[in-house]
Amino acid sequence: MAETSIEWTDATWNPVAGCTVLTAGCTNCYAMRMAARLEAMGTAKYRDLTRKSGRRAVWTGKIRLDYASLEAPKAWSKPRKVFVNSMSDLFHDDVPVEFIDLVWNVMKETPRHTYQILTKRPERMSQVLSQRPFEILSNVWLGTSVEDSRVLYRLDAIREVPAAVRFVSLEPLIGSVAGGDLTDIQWAIVGGESGPRAREMKPEWVDEIETMCRASGTAFFFKQWGGKNKKAAGRMLNGKTYDEMPDLRP
């Protein structure tokens, strides 16, 4: 298990490595930078997944299925919130349905953990999960990322996904999403971009989302302001922190 400093989860689990840039939210993908760093450190799992483009590392488009990591959650005795595939996208077109099925089996066999799966490809998520043998698992939360209004259609796609809990990550938030609809989405995470090329997040965009959450009964989690020094920028919004989680009571 990899412990993580991500505020809304306890651990990461990466049965897949590698990805392809899709939309503007991917431009400064943390996983892409981290994969290059891990390859430089000699980690075989990340070999050839990125290449240099100027001073940046960019995905080559190669996807690696890590069969050996599939068993890992079974060894974690303490219940955890587990972010699945922080270094990829489980619903990337090149991840075979048979492999997703193996991931599903592990999650089913380990109900003590709560799994959080986030995709920028909710249409494929919906299409794959509507097939047999996939079943709705109460310990699996399914979410999509929305960075600005150009990808608001992903909210409609995630609403089609059969899930115990649906969520949206609005990070990096790089534009207003006013006009979006969070109906039937139980949790929203909001965060500004961090790192050397961080793009601005305007406070009014965050306020708009909080208002949307109150209207739809969606739990609101404000992760960070981000920026070049994310620690200094902190995670206070209008004088308080927002760490709401989906209400799982019947």
Using CA atoms of 11, 65, 93, 125 in order, give the dihedral in degrees to the nearest 10: -40
Q: How far is the CB of 144 from ligand SF4 (least distance, A)?
A: 10
230 binds ligand SF4 (CB under 6 A): no
**Residue 117 or 185: which CB sits closer to ligand SF4?**
117
151 binds ligand SF4 (CB under 6 A): no
Q: What angle do CA 227, 218, 241 make, to 5 degrees?
A: 40
Of the residues 10, 89, 171, 193, which one makes contact with ligand SF4 according to CB under 6 A? 89
**Residue 110 or 116: which CB sits closer to ligand SF4?**
116
Q: How far is the CB of 180 from ligand SF4 (least distance, A)?
A: 19
Q: Per CB under 6 A, which of residues 32..51 are in contact with ligand SF4? A: 32
Of the residues 64, 80, 120, 124, which one makes contact with ligand SF4 according to CB under 6 A? 120
Q: Are 161 and 142 in contact (CB under 8 A)?
A: yes
Of the residues 9, 88, 169, 186, which one makes contact with ligand SF4 according to CB under 6 A? 88
29 binds ligand SF4 (CB under 6 A): yes
Specify the amino acid at residue 165: V
Q: How far is the CB of 245 from ligand SF4 (least distance, A)?
A: 22
26 binds ligand SF4 (CB under 6 A): yes
Helix (H) or strand (E) holding 65, with range, is strand 64-65
Q: In which residue are the tokens 């969520």 written?
A: 167
CA atoms within 13 A on the CB side of 12: 16
**Residue 110 or 201: which CB sits closer to ligand SF4?**
201
Q: What are the Cα distances from residue 149, in Å, to 101, 197, 216, 247?
A: 32, 21, 18, 27
**How many residues are present in the chain?**
250
Distance separating alpha carbons of residues 250 and 247, to the nearest angstrom? 9
Tokens of 180: 């979006």
Q: In which residue are the tokens 């080559």 written?
A: 60
Q: Residues binding ligand SF4: what is the number (CB under 6 A)?
A: 10
19 binds ligand SF4 (CB under 6 A): yes
Q: Are 64 and 45 in contact (CB under 8 A)?
A: yes
Stretch binding ligand SF4 (CB under 6 A), from 25-33, 75-83, 146-154, 225-233 = 25-33
Can you give the binding site for ligand SF4, defined by CB under 6 A?
Answer: 19, 21-22, 26, 29, 31-32, 88-89, 120
